[in-house]
A and B are shown apart, each in its own frame.
Chain A
Amino acid sequence: MPILSIRGLRKSFGHTEVLRGIHLAVAPQELVFIIGPSGSGKSTLLRCCNRLEEPTAGVITLDGVDLMARSTDINAMRRKIGMVFQSFNLYPHMTALGNVTLALRKVVGKSRRDADAAGMAALERVGLSAKAKSYPGELSGGQQQRVAIARALALEPTVMLFDEPTSALDPELVGSVLAVMRELKSAGMTMLVVSHEMRFARDAADRVIFMDHGLIVEEGAPAQIFGAPREPRAKAFIAELTR
């Protein structure tokens, strides 16, 4: 029984169809890694999963709840779908702890004390409890991204979406973010990751999906996709990446 199920997902921007019928079922605790050339629709797919992007057609269910249904409270469901962005998107006017606890206090309705405790636990998990009082501007990119992960994590999501989480980082800072993601994976978090970190995909992904022109062209175990891709387009893309 998949925890996240996507069927017939389509998304158009004006006359351009970016997603042309995506089917994807993600099992609990699975890490699905999404690759593909730029413009293939990877990020749009991720952003449709919590309806930051409104799908044009299709069905998305999380834990059996239809995300597209009118009766579904999408704001409540978004709490169960943690999202990590390429550009971190931390709130610059709040401390790290403030960033992590804001939704706990104002959306979930926890007291400041409970929220701070949960927030500190989340920061601890990403190794940044010492930076709780720092503002985003005082943190390195890697630290900011880990705070962003803690912000999503604090809401105890069912699944987490990572949209190129390390693409905006200097190379020496990538490792700390990937380490946190590995820890999440080993703790059993269900994850959808759009990224170019092939090494990470090899060791941590359960399944790799190759997308092109709004469709899933090929999918399989990391070893198979990276070692012996069948589709010519996947072959060309992976040859280019591992060059």
Chain B
Amino acid sequence: MNAFLETFFKPNLIAQYLPSILKGVFVTIEIALAVVISGLLLGLVLAVIRSFHIKLINVFIIVIVDMLRALPPLVIVLIVYFGLPNVGVNIPSFAVLWLVLTLVLAAFAEEIFWAGILSVPKGQWEAARSTGFGFVGTLGYIVLPQAVRLTVPPITNRTVAITKNTALGMVIGVPEILNQATSAQSFSGNATPLMMGAIAYVLLFIPVVALGRFLETRFAWRRS
């Protein structure tokens, strides 16, 4: 029991590394927020573009989206961070992480929003069109509000899954939680900082999961 506490919850190490872990928490929050906003927006925009059924554009979207969904995000992070400088493109590590995770989240979000758009019954389109709405008005006022509500649960799950990948920042030197924790661990030779990092992740993401559950019930409406 004592050995367990010594390994994972050593008090003096907690005190020593709390500031750097907290710094990591803020970096993680920053990247996560930026990724969630830009990723979901881009995903929604792509799904809307796809609903115009322009064949060439849609093929392009589908290919890119499928590639982004198939590749492990770590692979993309490494290729962008270590590969692009060789062709003269230098992007700061923070931006690389944001960009890659945004694209990955957008890819998954596009598929989910698109499925949401498709799941709105044809009759909704017809009712809207029959009252004089054009395609864009129908999409904006009738279809998207329903599609987005339908997709709250899968979008929340996916968003949490992708934002957790901010931990990949460790391998390219973004000073987020895991990076702070692992460097503290190697300095101290003790797993306590890693445990602190784990707790920080839990504290950070539990509210997000809870928010998702709240939105799920808040946006549910009784189906006719």
Contact = CB atoms under 8 A, between A and B. Distances in A.
A141 B152 CA distance: 28
A194 to B, nearest CB: 15
B164 to A, nearest CB: 31
A89 B132 contact: no
A85 B125 CA distance: 12
B contacts with A: majority SS: helix
A79 B132 contact: yes
Nearest to A99: B127
Contacts of A88: 224
A130 interface: no
Interface string A84-128: 010111111100000000110011100000000000000000000
B132 A103 contact: yes
A89 B131 contact: no
Contact of A78 (B131, B145, B224): B131
B126 A89 contact: yes
A125 to B, nearest CB: 17
B132 A75 contact: yes
Interface residues of B, number: 22
Contacts of A188: none
Contacts of A89: 121, 123-124, 126-127
Contact of B130 (A78, A102, A135, A144): A78
A60 interface: no
A81 B118 CA distance: 27
Interface string A133-173: 00111110000100010011001000000000000000000
Interface in B134-154: 134, 137, 141-142, 145-146, 149
Given A88-B224, A90-B224, A93-B146, A75 B133 contact: yes
Interface residues of A, number: 32
Interface string B95-137: 0000000000000000000000000010110111111111001
B131 A137 contact: no
B224 A91 contact: no
Contact of B127 (A75, A91, A108): A91
A130 to B, nearest CB: 19
Contacts of B146: 91-93
Given A106-B137, A106-B141, A107-B137, A92 B132 contact: no
Interface of B: 121, 123-124, 126-134, 137, 141-142, 145-146, 149, 221-224
Given A106-B133, A108-B132, 6 more contacts: A83-B126, A91-B128, A92-B146, A92-B223, A93-B146, A93-B221
7 cross-chain pairs, A with B, having the tightest CB-CB distances, nearest first:
A137-B222, A89-B127, A103-B131, A89-B123, A83-B130, A79-B132, A107-B132
